[in-house]
Structure 1
Amino acid sequence: MTICFLMGEYPTDENPINAFTDVLMTEMANQGVNCVVIAPQSRTGRFIHGTKPAPCIREKTAPNGSKITIYSPKYNSYSAKNIFGYNTARLTQRSYEKVVQKEFVRRNIKCDVLYGKFFSLGGLAAARLGDMFGIPAFVDNGESTLNSLDILQRRMVVDRIKKLSGVISVSTENKRKLLESGYVDSDFADKIFVALNSVDEKKFFKMDKIKARKELGFPEDAFIVSFVGHFVERKGVGVLSDVLNSIEDVYSIFVGRGPMVPEVKNTLHCGTVPHEKVYMYLNASDVFVLPTLAEGLCNAILEALACGLPVISSNLPFNYDVLDDSCSILVDPMNKEEIRHAILRIKQDESLKKRLSDGALEKASRFSLKNRIAKILEFINDNI
């Protein structure tokens, strides 16, 4: 089977954004899918972030020897700004779809299925392209919210979703939100398949903490809190920064990038890390903290669990498919005192830390990447 994946930017060594997309492609290829990717790159985004453009064409080789072909044409992004009642996200979506269609035709891509990563950009483009060329189209609904659809033309969104052959939802909560959004009717529920996000156990696993710290040059006897995610308000990086600055004898690791660069005392690392090295930073930590306000189902949390880390995160429905008191402490993500107290509990109670660490490993074992992709492919085959 050949699947053409439509998505935002594909990660490079210099710019490891959206690393989870590469994980998805690699396992799809490992399971026999011929993967072709159209991942347009924003001209304005590259200029703003100062990153090197990705090659227009590149190939990756999966562990089983299968090739993944990635096309990255340039397009103009107009962001998502409200100007006199008009949101420029409509221009961005239109520009993206125009470039995707042109690339699809120019490269003479022949595929059995179109697969959009997220509704915004890739998903809506897949629905349109599928309708034009008579190809079944699916969407991976991993958004933290549906706000990106709300700012587009509603009639267009409803019409596009109707044309989809199916939706893969990364969480039970995402399926509920879609059914209650008004974009689909109740009959559409049969087209929504819940395939919880997963973790690649070959890349994220528990290793000796002292060994990890020695390799990274971190103090061996420190209590270390880690955060992985975009440095934006939604992820809670500002809240966590304030909390950590109020606690003595705690060190921190911040993996990510964004406008809200944390300024925290005793910071051991702050910035991006190649995805294949993130596990080392997690294993050097004592606890993973993510006071996020909205998620689909957070890959970073699953990766932390797979490394045996106790998790402190939000007591909100998007976490309920994964986190419970066997592996985590759930808190109000806006309540700094709750977050502070949770960190101190794990710092001061070694038995609690050990229990949650053991629970994290057990929990992560249920979220196999191989099993998830197999179920998604079965769903696709049943609906084409």
Structure 2
Amino acid sequence: MRLLVVTSQFPVAGEPTRGRPILQTVVELARLAEVRVLSPVARYPRWARPRSYLYQAPEPAAAIPGCEVVHVSYPALPMLSRPINGWLCGRALRAEARAFRPDVILSYWLYPDAAGALRVAGELGVALVAGARGSDIRVRDAISRRLTAPVVQKAGRLLVVSADLGRLATRDYGADPARVRVIANGCDADTFKLRDRAEARAALAVEPDSQLVLYVGRLVAEKGLRELVAATRALRDAHPRAELVLVGDGPLREELAQLARDPAQRLRLAGAQPADKVAQWMAASNLLALPSYSEGHPNVLVEALACGRPVVSCPVGGVPEVVDASCAVLVPPREVEALASALAAVLARDWDEQALSRRFSRRWGEVAMETLAACIEARDAHRAGKRE
């Protein structure tokens, strides 16, 4: 099968951790099919870039064995071009897609990526499989929902990372339940595994007696980072050795960096890191915190547990499908006091690291096989429909 993967959520030179779960899936898909990645990037004028958007030049971060990655860009303006961003994205994709002649287009991120891919798939007469990751389907405003709905309804198969997202797609967007496939993320068990905490701390210059709270992800307000900073600060009265390390990058970087300049905050920004360094930070930590307002299937929780580290998070989206009381404490989002109490409770508990690290054994090869099976279903159904 010739499979064209279309997604903006893919590593680029300036953001090597972008779309890591999709990258892991593509690496394994390339072992099973002929795969090309086409990654569209919105190109805003410098003076008009949204504050929530960190533009990175569309240059590949690294080669994928057996898979060509092509980056394209399209012009955009905040708010003004949003209704036509799907069309603009499709126009940017068209030439490369035609040259590759795919059997199926698999597009992660519903709008504008999959919307543009849907137009191109129609022109080429092939099936589209759309993948929803979380915030691309949990859109709040009516305009975005209206732009997203046609992709959800028309895709030959809709891949979601949690059952919660599948219910949302059916209930709020009119997705055909028969076309929805829940394909949870995997975990690179060769990278994310139980390691010696003392060794990891020595390598990262973390004090041996630190009570290290770790966050890994984009630096955006929706991840509850302001609440996490405040909760860690409140925690320090009873736990003076508590410190917070943020691994990642995003629009809140400068705001958080300003706080980190005060040594009393005990806040460190480690920046975006490759997977092996993320695993090292997890090994060095006491717990991983992800107090998001909404989530899909947060792979960082799976990875933290694989490293033998407990979790503090919120019962939103697919989080309750990943963790339970045996490995995590869940608190309502946006509540600083509850978050501080949860952090204290996890730090005070004696966790069985071996038991935590054995919770997940799902590898990315399984994710790729399930994804390819959904693509084959969509291809065959599309061809059968054309014959009727």
- Tell me if TM exceeds 0.5: yes
- Pick aligned residue for 1:99 from 92, 108, 121: 92
Letter in 1 for 2:359: K
Structure 1 residue 78, shift from structure 2 partner: 2.2
* Native 8 Å contact 2:110 2:148 kept in 1: no
Deviations 1:278-334 (A, max 9, x none): 111111101000110111111211121111110000023421211101111111122
Structure 1's 195 and 51: CA in aligned 2 closer, same or farther, altered over 3 A?
closer
* Native 8 Å contact 2:152 2:173 kept in 1: no
After superposition, residues 2-13 of structure 1 pair within 5 angstroms as 2-13=2-13
Secondary structure (helix, strand or coil) at the match of 1:60 reads coil
Q: Does 1:212 align with 2:216?
A: no
- Pick aligned residue for 2:358 from 359, 362, 367: 362
What corresponds to 1:20 in structure 2? Answer: 21
What corresponds to 1:321 in structure 2? Answer: 321
Structure 1's 4 and 59: CA in aligned 2 closer, same or farther, altered over 3 A?
farther
Secondary structure (helix, strand or coil) at the match of 2:5 reads strand
Separation in structure 1 between the aligned mates of residue 76 and residue 22 of structure 2, nearest angstrom = 20
Structure 1's 128 and 158: CA in aligned 2 closer, same or farther, altered over 3 A?
same
State how many pairs are aligned: 361
Letter in 2 for 1:250: A
* Native 8 Å contact 2:111 2:148 kept in 1: no
Percent identity over the alignment? 20
Secondary structure (helix, strand or coil) at the match of 2:213 reads strand
* Native 8 Å contact 2:134 2:296 kept in 1: yes
After superposition, residues 28-177 of structure 1 pair within 5 angstroms as 28-30=29-31, 32-44=32-44, 53-55=57-59, 60-62=63-65, 67-79=66-78, 81=79, 88-105=81-98, 108-144=99-135, 145-147=137-139, 150-152=142-144, 154=146, 157-177=148-168
* Native 8 Å contact 2:295 2:317 kept in 1: no
What corresponds to 1:307 in structure 2? Answer: 307
Letter in 2 for 1:171: S
What corresponds to 2:285 in structure 1? Answer: 285
Separation in structure 2 between the aligned mates of residue 116 and residue 93 of structure 1, nearest angstrom = 12
Separation in structure 2 between the aligned mates of residue 174 and residue 167 of structure 1, nearest angstrom = 10
Separation in structure 2 between the aligned mates of residue 293 and residue 54 of structure 1, nearest angstrom = 29
* Native 8 Å contact 1:7 1:38 kept in 2: yes
Letter in 2 for 1:24: T
* Native 8 Å contact 1:119 1:149 kept in 2: no
Structure 1 residue 8, shift from structure 2 partner: 0.8
What corresponds to 2:383 in structure 1? Answer: none
Structure 1's 377 and 277: CA in aligned 2 closer, same or farther, altered over 3 A?
same
Q: Does 1:255 align with 2:247?
A: yes
- Pick aligned residue for 1:382 from 374, 377, 380: 377
* Native 8 Å contact 2:10 2:39 kept in 1: yes
Structure 1 residue 148, shift from structure 2 partner: 7.3
Q: Does 1:233 align with 2:221?
A: yes
Q: Which runs of 5+ in 1 are unaligned?
A: 82-86
* Native 8 Å contact 2:106 2:375 kept in 1: no
Secondary structure (helix, strand or coil) at the match of 1:218 reads coil
Structure 1's 239 and 45: CA in aligned 2 closer, same or farther, altered over 3 A?
farther
Structure 1 residue 250, shift from structure 2 partner: 0.4
* Native 8 Å contact 1:124 1:161 kept in 2: no
Q: Which runs of 5+ in 2 are unaligned?
A: 380-388
- Pick aligned residue for 2:189 from 194, 197, 201: 201
* Native 8 Å contact 2:212 2:245 kept in 1: yes
* Native 8 Å contact 1:9 1:41 kept in 2: no
Secondary structure (helix, strand or coil) at the match of 2:63 reads strand
Letter in 2 for 1:20: P
Secondary structure (helix, strand or coil) at the match of 2:172 reads coil
Structure 1 residue 360, shift from structure 2 partner: 2.8
* Native 8 Å contact 1:115 1:140 kept in 2: yes
The structure whose RCO (Cα within 8 Å, separation 6+) is larger is: 2
What corresponds to 2:382 in structure 1? Answer: none
Which one is further off, 303-312 or 268-277? 268-277
What is the TM-score normalised by the length of structure 2? Answer: 0.85
Separation in structure 2 between the aligned mates of residue 45 and residue 60 of structure 1, nearest angstrom = 28
* Native 8 Å contact 2:213 2:242 kept in 1: yes
* Native 8 Å contact 1:61 1:68 kept in 2: yes
Secondary structure (helix, strand or coil) at the match of 2:106 reads strand
Separation in structure 1 between the aligned mates of residue 132 and residue 14 of structure 2, nearest angstrom = 27
Which one is further off, 319-328 or 40-49? 40-49
What corresponds to 2:171 in structure 1? Answer: 180
Structure 1 residue 183, shift from structure 2 partner: 3.4
* Native 8 Å contact 1:58 1:69 kept in 2: no
Deviations 1:42-100 (A, max 9, x none): 33288857866233x797243xxxx1111112211323x3xxxxx64213322212111
What corresponds to 1:84 in structure 2? Answer: none
Structure 1's 328 and 359: CA in aligned 2 closer, same or farther, altered over 3 A?
farther
